[in-house]
Structure 1
Amino acid sequence: MPRNILALDFYGSTITAALAAVDDDTRTLRIRHVLRRTCRSFSGAFVRDMAGAEEGLNKVFAEMNEYINADPSVVVGLRGNFLSFKSSSGFKSIDTRNRIIGDREIDEAIRNSVPINLSDTLEVVDILPQSYMIDGNTGILDPKGMAGFTLEIGTFLSYALVTHLNNLNNVLSACNCPEYALLPSSVALGETLLTEGEKRSGALLLDLGEESVSALLYNKGILLDGLELPYGLNRRAEAVADLLQNDVETAQEVLNGYEPGADEIMDEVIEDAESKMLQGINKEILQAFCLHLKYPAPNLILCGSGSTKQMVKTAKAIFNAKKARLGVVDHLISDCPADNPAYTGALSLIRHTLEREQNQLGVAQTKESGLFTGFLDKLGQLFEH
């Protein structure tokens, strides 16, 4: 019998969600329903107002209720500048008699990659293994079952501020959702949308939303660094306002009602505004990734609700990339229109979660292991009201 997975992605002041049915026997994934709901009590995964955030999430759960026939697994995507990232490594001496590496040794090496002097203000939300080395020998794809004296694992760590994370946890708990996995949305996007060739040759992933930007940098097949910026297409509106000498609200109204190609002059204004916005993003990325980004990444992948085909050419020139493209989650079996770029994050969370589950890869933070006690009951109560 298929099982359900529900992904929640907090995109600025909008909650996006995707519900999928997974058949483990045939390894097929069917998207049952997707939704977008404005909730200004959230800014990314940062809670601005507890009561409003709970109300917004309950409405999302209520809409999903008619598509759920059993308790779902839930994966929550984190976005926002309360996230930080770091490449690390973990070491484990193999102390079993026959020196064979198993799950226990791999798990210990992964967990040993977390710094022991980690600040009390931070909490690890995800540990992504990336490389393995046995007795100094590199290039190992899977160490399980191999013999050796020492195991070293290269990892990519994602942290979140404890206070912000606790607020999100309290809202989810109040919505009768006690069990869920937490993952950075950007990591799910990078691991889902980029090809292995792009990761090896070097790639910059840019996820552009209305109020936020997420960036990931890959080189030689390794995820090197990540960045969360607290602005996005809202900077484009500011640039349009400056060019038209209007206020930002008027400029946003013009953008909301504008169709590309309808007015040649406005096309040029918007292109100039997008160029200014992307130049600002590029400046932040060059500063944040200065230790890793000695040369421009040859591949640029744009995704998110703010990314368009028209923007790819401009971004390619600004980021000095050899190739640029839009990143989409393809090969989907879907019962609903799920091709809107705004749903890419939620769909990537589902894909990435299943891949890690299948490969038994890494450690994502999980809250309250067990059943979703009362989840469907709460949804039923919502519809009664």
Structure 2
Amino acid sequence: MQDTSKYAVGIDIGTNKIRCVVGHVDVSTGAPTVVGVGEVSNSGMRKGVVVNLAGPSKAIDDALGEAERMSGYQVNAATLSINGSHILSTKADGMIAIGMAGQEVTEADIIRLEDVATTGKVPANREILELVPFSYRLDGQDGIKDPVGMTGTRLEINANVVSALAPHVVNLQKTAEQAQVVPHALIPSAVAASRAVLTEQQLENGVAVIDFGGATTSIAIYEEGDLQYTAVIPVGSNNITNDLAIGLKTDPEVAELVKLQHVTAVSGRDSKKVSVKYEKETHEFATSEIDEIVEARLEELFEDINAELKKAGRKGKLPNGVVLVGGGAQLKGLVDYTKQSLELAARIGKPKGFGGVAEQLESPAFATAVGLMFSDMENVENPSLHKSSDKTHRAKQGVSQAKGFVSKFLDRFRA
């Protein structure tokens, strides 16, 4: 009997944490059931990019080990997140001649048009992660979403090109290879998280996903069903910890406890003394001092976020507001602070659309990993896992990036 089981794996490679989600796909319904989850601390990364291959490689291996023990399957390949302020959105357009009058537009014409649109727009040292077509124009007819099969002589495209610096892409691929994992695709973290937390209506009306990570804050803006803009700000929750350590004149470990236990994004509370215990020693701080430090950092971060929204032409113009994901999104009062600072509706995004091990994944910290798993469902034609308990037998296949993650992601909503 032929085994029709299919598995999808998402690995969120964060500066602080590696999170892995393994899903079993029901071939009859196409719905995923999460069967394995792994989360471990990471090292060897700075501001979302790899600076030491050994650190994240070991962390990936450890996270996969946790997920493999839970699921009983061995991971050979996965869809990975990519992060860092080097990720850019670039508007591009182009035009080609189809040929003789009455000739149909083919897939080859689309590929040729995309090449024309990106030539000269994306520098040679950048790797194109994806080209998102906003619309096509065929012989003067505007607003075409898919021109394949239509007849005409002149085809134009208006698109968004998402690209990353090639050295960072190569380093991430090498890190995965060292952990004996084949990357099916590399997807910006906020774009991946969108796959797990947004609805079709939000994608159409206009919405932004903001991924608050440890060292970066990623933004993905959608409207009319398309990814309009993405950017990464090199500031995250680690900066709050560091500011607290400096301002309170204490160790970073103590500052992290203060952040987790006593920090709130909305200031104005009555001043009082709070304490944290670290290594059998109790440390006391004034809430007024804590609030002053955190407010200064959040004000600077949200000025940057507003600047990116303005650059995208969407400042204060997103009907569905913003959806907050990532570990940093769990900061007390952040939703209210976001509403005040961005003058938009805001809510915490929790992953949905799957069954199985749900309790741990309800956290916004797992939104990117779950979204990567959803994308991996569409990036693989064969099962990405083989039943085994021996990790030394992982296949060492060539690294290849699957095309079309954004378009496939959106097609699922349109279906």
Give the TM-score category using the shorter length: 0.7 to 0.9
Distance 1:72 1:49, change over 3 A: closer
Distance 2:386 2:205 in 1: 48
Q: Is the 8 A contact 1:44 1:78 kept in 2?
A: no
Q: Which residue of 1 aligns with 2:42?
A: 39
> Which residue of 277, 300, 304 maps to 1:284?
304
Distance 2:171 2:362 in 1: 31
Distance 1:160 1:311, change over 3 A: same
TM-superposition CA deviations, 1:310-348 (whole Å, max 9, x none): 310111101111x11112221321235321221110111
TM-superposition CA deviations, 1:338-384 (whole Å, max 9, x none): 212211101112224446889xxxxxxxxxxx9989996861469xx
Q: Which residue of 2 aligns with 1:63?
A: 66
Q: Which residue of 2 aligns with 1:165?
A: 169
Distance 1:286 1:315, change over 3 A: closer
Code of the aligned partner of 1:302: L
Structure 1 residue runs of 5 or longer lacking an equivalent are 359-369
Following superposition, the deviation at residue 38 of structure 1 comes to 0.7
Q: Is the 8 A contact 2:8 2:376 kept in 1?
A: no
Q: Is the 8 A contact 1:89 1:152 kept in 2?
A: yes
**How is 1:231-310 mapped onto 2 (pairs within 5 angstroms)?**
231-241=235-245, 244=248, 246=250, 248-258=252-262, 265=272, 274-293=294-313, 295-298=315-318, 299-308=321-330, 310=333
Distance 1:85 1:318 in 2: 24
Q: Is the 8 A contact 1:205 1:300 kept in 2?
A: yes
Q: Which residue of 2 aligns with 1:141?
A: 145
Q: Is the 8 A contact 2:10 2:21 kept in 1?
A: yes
Distance 1:102 1:78, change over 3 A: same
Distance 1:195 1:271 in 2: 35
Distance 2:58 2:74 in 1: 23
Q: Point out the more displaced range, 166-175 or 216-225.
A: 216-225
Q: Point out the more displaced range, 23-32 or 272-281.
A: 272-281
Code of the aligned partner of 2:347: R
Distance 2:106 2:137 in 1: 14
Following superposition, the deviation at residue 241 of structure 1 comes to 4.7
> Root-mean-square deviation (CA), in Å?
3.6
Distance 1:171 1:54 in 2: 5
Q: Which residue of 2 aligns with 1:366?
A: none
SS in structure 2 at match of 1:306: helix
Distance 1:352 1:135 in 2: 34
Q: TM-score, normalization: structure 2?
A: 0.76
Q: Does 1:331 align with 2:353?
A: yes
Q: Is the 8 A contact 2:17 2:42 kept in 1?
A: yes
Q: Which residue of 1 aligns with 2:409?
A: none
Distance 1:271 1:353, change over 3 A: farther
Q: Which residue of 2 aligns with 1:114?
A: 118
Following superposition, the deviation at residue 247 of structure 1 comes to 5.5
Distance 1:179 1:216, change over 3 A: closer
> Which residue of 366, 369, 377 maps to 1:346?
369
Distance 1:46 1:332 in 2: 30
Q: Which residue of 1 aligns with 2:340?
A: 317
Q: Which residue of 2 aligns with 1:22?
A: 25
Q: Does 1:2 align with 2:22?
A: no
Q: Point out the more displaced range, 179-188 or 76-85.
A: 179-188
Q: Does 1:188 align with 2:210?
A: no
SS in structure 1 at match of 2:64: helix
Distance 1:373 1:318, change over 3 A: closer
Distance 1:218 1:338, change over 3 A: closer
Q: TM-score, normalization: structure 1?
A: 0.81
SS in structure 2 at match of 1:331: coil
Following superposition, the deviation at residue 157 of structure 1 comes to 1.7
Following superposition, the deviation at residue 143 of structure 1 comes to 2.5
Equivalent pairs counted in the alignment come to 370
Q: Is the 8 A contact 2:197 2:349 kept in 1?
A: yes
